[in-house]
A and B are shown apart, each in its own frame.
Chain A
Amino acid sequence: MKTKLATITRNKKGQPVSTEQTVVAETLRIGRGADCKLHLSDPRIALFHAEIICGVDEISYIEARGGAISIDGSLERAATLKVGQRILIGPFELFVLPAQKDANLALSVELIDPLKDDVEEVKSHVKAGLKSTWLSKRTFSWAAAAAVFLVFLAWPVISAFDSGHGKQMAKMGLAADASWDVGPLSSAHASFGSNCSSCHQQPFVHVTNGACEECHKKIGWHFALDTKEAKTLHTGVFGDTRCSECHRDHKGPMGLVRSDSPLCTDCHQNLKSRHPQTGVADVAEFTKDHPPFKVSMLLPGKTGAAAIVRIAQDDKKRFVEASGLKFPHDVHLNPKGIRGPSGNAQMECKNCHVPDETSTRFKPVTMGEHCQSCHSLEFEPKSTTRQVPHGKIADVIATVQEHYAQIALTDAPIDVVLEDGIKRPGQRVGESKREAALAWANTKAEKITQELFEVRVCFECHEIKRGDGATAVDPATRWQIAPIAVTQHWLPKARFPHSRHSTYKCSSCHDVAGSKTSANIAIPDIKNCRECHGGNVTSKDKAPGTCETCHGFHTGSPKSGVPAIVPGGNQPKLLPKAAAANTYHAALLTPNSTGGAPQ
């Protein structure tokens, strides 16, 4: 076959330039190979890519061999050639031209997709540097900064100022300022939850004392501010100290109370420098220079603040209790036992000293509950189980008189030997004899009463003297029973929860086994405490012994020192003003001339 080939190239202006040639061959082989008449030197062309064959009917057709061909836009294995057809072979474009008279076929050939320059080709596949990727410091920085700003700064600030939004979000469990929380609240404040403005009432302003006092209305300062001097001293020492300087919240459930010793010893190691008139001894360290304990003892027969006397434990002469009662601990705690209503009994401390409701201290010991089961007030046990009342002398006398008068004036059989002519068993007493009978009864009652007050029963426990009214009309003045002053709270300026020391025996601290008299005060001294309690610095083998271990700071509170200490409660607001400074003392007092346990 004879083929006319027009090879098209482009000049610099892009205009086509045609170079024509005539190829004569049996078939027109197209390819990269040297034996191909249509030689297309390009790596994208197969060695023998395709072949054009002229058929017997002079119709030419093309067939794909080693590569693919595209006829008018579609891939074909073979096709009949028609004028105007566009054939793509790799990067080459062939057009079938109108037939020419001396050739079987006419084609134009143009390289329409030349290879890139090799350097360009390689460079187009080299992508170096992370900046050329999607990574971007600027974008990341803006994104991270915006996220942190919105979530942790803008939102909480907006919520704080728009409380409606803040509360609504808090209800949904999305408190905006939760992320600002520096730590868990104390257990007492835990119920505030995310309501930060309960305490933090103004932005960028310290929590004020006013915020605390909205709830803590009754809390007092370090001492009572009931005098001008006290107020001046307070201002001088504490100035504008804020509650939160000691009570720092957000430190966990237990963290609200400051308990370090310097809180106290900064002033108390040299108190006179602050308050020259003070009578309080200096102290710097519990284990070294804490003064001996001072007990607060009730004085019998006094009322109000005068009923309290403070006695140091090393003041041996004055360190004596005058309760008005006789009570030898050694007899009651005799290891061999003591005679009781049901025979020999071994008594223990707890028989009389019953813990109060909080197990901090003890309920008052009372005659009815703790003594009378043994110390019966029977005055004539041979004839009756009747007892005299535990109360006024007149009632005792009247009870005894009534008893014997009844015996004398009725026909009740009695086992006493009677004087002849007055009464026989089974006989009624005649009218003429009644005055004589009453006289007998009075004499008998007089004898028994005197026994009660001077020999047995009452005399067993009470200090009793003959009164100067022995001849007076009122028989109650014939004896004087010493007023009772049983001190309930010996160390009211300290706290000592017995419940937290319950693993120790009572006798570890209270040495009463050899005590023969109620004059002995069984309050342990400071050495006893120091056996277990260390000082300001935490010690490995000692329990804490900071000031706060025993003492409170807010002693100026109307309730200071007394909560849960005096059984039955105490209501300081009912007390006279004069006693307010010593409320814990006053709380002990019951204006009762006969003394007795505080109510």
Chain B
Amino acid sequence: MRHRTILEYRDYRYLKLAVFIVLAVIFAYGWYKYPLGHYGGTPLGYTLGTIGALLILWLMWLGVQKRRYRTTGDIKGWLSAHIYLGTSLVIIATLHAAFQVGWNVHTLAYVLMMVVIASGFYGVYTYLRFPTLMTENLAEDTLESLTLKIADIDREARRLALGMSDEVNRAVLASIQETRIGGGVYAQLRENVSNCPTTTAVKLIKSLAAKVKGDEARKHQDLYGMMLRKQRLVARARTDIRYKAIMDIWLFFHVPLSVALLVALTAHIVAVFFYW
């Protein structure tokens, strides 16, 4: 059976629910006539605002649930509902605001919500795309096993290089001691690592191998093979880290902005009723 994504959960149960809610809200907006036109303070506006605020609270509660690892029900179901009902907020909140925006806390809450939703869309994209890529990259390995394989090569290469020229020995040592896998935020996210000591060593050994003969040439060939294998292992390890970082980075926006949204939403509601 084909793997079903969170979007397809239980035959799109939450997509159907979200579509129903959105259509109902759009219909209500079109049908409802208020003498002063649409805005957040009409009976329909208050209703949509209440629905939107409760949805936001519920969607954030899901985040808390996930952190506690004590889920009430199926985590996939929660996530599917989170995605679809979160998306329905775009329509609910826009019609609640009746397309009115300004430089105020009300629009701040709206914009924060939209950014949170947009970051969530990115999150869905990564969840759909990157697990496959990660599996393709790692195959039967893990980051741990890649590390061990690299260490094995390092050991062999170091021994072999001891008996070779200082230039080769230095390059191999640099590859062992200075090859960084992952690192800071940018280092984890970037695709190409410039000045990688392993790449430098591979290039150097390749160029030197052509200049020597006999036993030395064989040593160079052996070392070159080792370093090339290491280079590939390092690249796969880096790619694995990069994919994980891409899959995680949006949450560093999604979660804090959600919290900011919760406060802005509170300020929005207090402001409206403070100056009723």
Chain A positions within 8 Å of B, measured between CB atoms, are 32, 34, 41-44, 46-47, 66-67, 115, 118-119, 121-123, 125-137, 140-145, 147-149, 152-153, 156-157, 160, 177-183, 196, 200, 203-207, 246, 248, 251, 255, 258, 260, 262-263
Closest to B265 in A: A148
Of A32, A148, A262, which one neighbours B264 at CB under 8 angstroms?
A148
Chain B residue numbers with a CB within 8 Å of A125 are 177-181
Contact A152 to B108, CB < 8 A, known contacts A133-B188, A145-B262: yes
CA–CA, A226 to B180, complex, Å? 91
Chain A neighbourhood of B266, CB < 8 A: 153
Closest chain B CB from A326 CB (angstroms): 50
Tell me, in angstroms, the Cα distance from A34 to B164 when the chains sit together.
11
Residue of A nearest to B177 (CB): A121
Tell me if B73 is interfacial: C-beta within 8 Å of chain A: no
Q: How far is B36's CA from A260's CA once the two chains are assembled, in angstroms? A: 8
Beta-carbon contact of A129 and B267 below 8 Å: no
A405 CB to closest chain B CB (Å) equals 75
Query: B148 at interface (Cβ–Cβ under 8 A)?
Result: yes
- B residues 33-89 with Cβ under 8 Å of A? 35-37, 39-41
Q: How far is the CB of B131 from chain A (nearest CB, A)?
A: 16
CB pair A135–B276 under 8 Å, yes or no, is no
Tell me the B218-276 residues at the A interface (CB within 8 Å). 237, 240-241, 244-245, 248-249, 251-252, 255-257, 259-260, 262-264, 266-267, 270-276
Residue of A at shortest CB range from B112?
A: A148
Q: Which residues of B contact A132 (CB under 8 A)?
A: 182
In the complex the two chains form, is A145's CB within 8 Å of B259's CB?
A: yes
CA distance A130 to B262 in the complex (A): 25
A to B contact number (C-beta, < 8 Å): 187
Which residue of chain B has its CB nearest to the CB of A135? B252
> Which B residues touch A129, using CB under 8 A?
182, 188, 241, 244-245, 248
CA distance A446 to B96 in the complex (A): 87
Q: Which of B1-9, B16-24, B165-173, B202-210 contacts A (4 or more CB under 8 A)?
A: B165-173
Judge whether A152 and B267 touch: CB under 8 Å. Answer: yes
* Given A121-B151, A130-B188, A182-B106, residue A260 in contact with residue B275 (CB < 8 A): no
Q: Which of A179, A183, A204 has the most CB of B within 10 A?
A: A179
A260 in contact with B35 given A119-B148, A122-B151, A182-B272 (CB within 8 Å): yes
Instruction: For residue A88, give the distance in angstroms from its CB to the closest CB of chain B.
Output: 17
* Mask of B95-112 contacts with A, CB within 8 angstroms, 1/0: 000001011111010000
Q: Indicate if the CB atoms of B260 and A144 lie closer than 8 Å.
A: yes
In the assembled complex, the CB of B268 is this many whole angstroms from the nearest CB of chain A, namely: 8
A159 to B240: give the CA distance in the assembly, Å.
Answer: 52
A66-B151 CB under 8 A given contacts A145-B259, A180-B105, A203-B274 = no
**Chain A positions within 8 Å of B259 at CB level:** 141-142, 144-145
A204 in contact with B276 (CB, 8 Å): yes
User: What is the size, in residues, of chain B's interface with A at 8 Å between Cβ atoms?
Assistant: 68
In the bound assembly, the distance between CA atoms of A345 and B137 in angstroms comes to: 102
Measured between alpha carbons, how far is A43 from B169 in the docked complex, in Å? Answer: 6
**For the complex, what is the distance from the CA of A598 to the CA of B226, rounded to whole Å?**
113
Contact partners of A204 in chain B: CB under 8 A: 273-274, 276
B185 at the interface (CB under 8 A from A): yes
Bound-state CA distance A136–B37 (Å) is: 44
Contacts of A133 in B (CB 8 A): 184-185, 188
B36 CB to closest chain A CB (Å) equals 5
Inter-subunit contact A180/B271 (CB<8 Å): yes
25 interchain pairs, CB-CB under 8 A = A32-B162, A34-B163, A42-B162, A47-B169, A115-B158, A118-B155, A119-B148, A121-B177, A122-B148, A126-B237, A127-B182, A128-B240, A128-B244, A130-B188, A136-B252, A145-B262, A148-B264, A149-B263, A152-B271, A153-B267, A160-B274, A177-B275, A200-B274, A248-B36, A263-B35
**Closest B residue by C-beta to A261:** B35
Decide yes or no whether B141 CB sits under 8 A from chain A: no
Chain B, Cβ-Cβ closest to A153:
B267
Q: Mark B139-178, 1 if CB is under 8 A from A, else 0.
A: 0000100011011101100100111011001001100111
* Given known contacts A137-B256, A140-B256, A153-B263, A181 and B165 CB-to-CB distance under 8 angstroms: no
Q: Is B183 an interface residue (CB 8 A)?
A: yes
A152 contacts B173, CB within 8 Å? no
User: How far apart are the CA atoms of A157 and B187 in the complex, in Å?
Assistant: 44
B185: A residues at CB distance < 8 A: 130, 133-135
**In the complex, are the beta carbons of A32 and B169 less than 8 A apart?**
yes
| Closest 3 pairs between A and B when the two form their complex, measured CB to CB | A140-B256, A144-B260, A180-B271
Are the C-beta atoms of B270 and A153 separated by less than 8 Å?
yes
- The answer on a CB contact under 8 Å between A145 and B263 is yes
Q: Residues of B contacting A67 with CB < 8 Å?
A: 166
- B166→A152 contact, CB < 8 A: no
Rounded to whole Å, the gap between the CB of B195 and the closest CB of chain A is 14
Most buried by A among B36, B162, B262, B275: B275
Which residues from B are CB-within-8-Å of A135?
Answer: 185, 249, 252
Q: How far is the CB of B91 from chain A (nearest CB, A)?
A: 21
Contact assessment for A43 and B275 in the assembled complex, using a CB-CB cutoff below 8 Å: no
Q: Does the CB pair A149–B276 fall under 8 Å?
A: no
Least CB distance from B144 to A in Å reads: 9
Q: Are A200 and B35 in contact (CB under 8 A)?
A: no
- A130-B248, A251-B36 known; A118+B151 contact, CB < 8 A: yes
Could you tell me the distance between the alpha carbons of A121 and B148 in the complex, rounded to whole angstroms? 10
Kindly name the residue among B108, B180, B252, B266 whose own CB sees the greatest number of chain A CB atoms within 10 A.
B252
B105 touching A141, Cβ below 8 Å: no
Chain A residue nearest to B188 (CB atoms) is A130
Given the known interface contacts A141-B256, A148-B264, A204-B273, the answer about A128 and B102 at a Cβ–Cβ threshold of 8 Å is: no
**Chain A residues in 8 Å Cβ range of B270:** 153, 157
Give per-residue flags for B20-34: 1 if the beta carbon is below 8 A from chain A beta carbons, else 0.
000000000000000
How far does the alpha carbon of A28 sit from the alpha carbon of B187 in the complex, in Å?
Answer: 47
Contacts A119-B147, A143-B256 given; indicate if A66 touches B166 (C-beta within 8 A): yes
Cα A7 to Cα B61 in complex, Å, equals: 67
- Given the interface pairs A133-B185, A160-B274, A196-B275, the reply to whether A126 lies near B147 with Cβ below 8 Å is yes
Chain A residue contacts of B179, Cβ below 8 A: 125
A residues less than 8 Å from B248 (CB atoms): 129-131
Which of A47, A149, A157, A263 touches B166 (beta carbons < 8 Å)? Answer: A47
Rounded to whole angstroms, the CA-CA distance of A156 and B179 in the bound complex is: 54
**Interface hub of A122, A133, A143 (most chain B Cβ within 10 A):** A122
Closest-by-CB residue of A relative to B152 is: A118
Question: Are B105 and A152 in contact (CB-based, < 8 A)?
Answer: yes
Q: What residues of B have a CB within 8 angstroms of the CB of A47 in the complex?
A: 165-166, 169
State the Cβ distance, A107 to closest chain B Cβ, in Å. Answer: 22
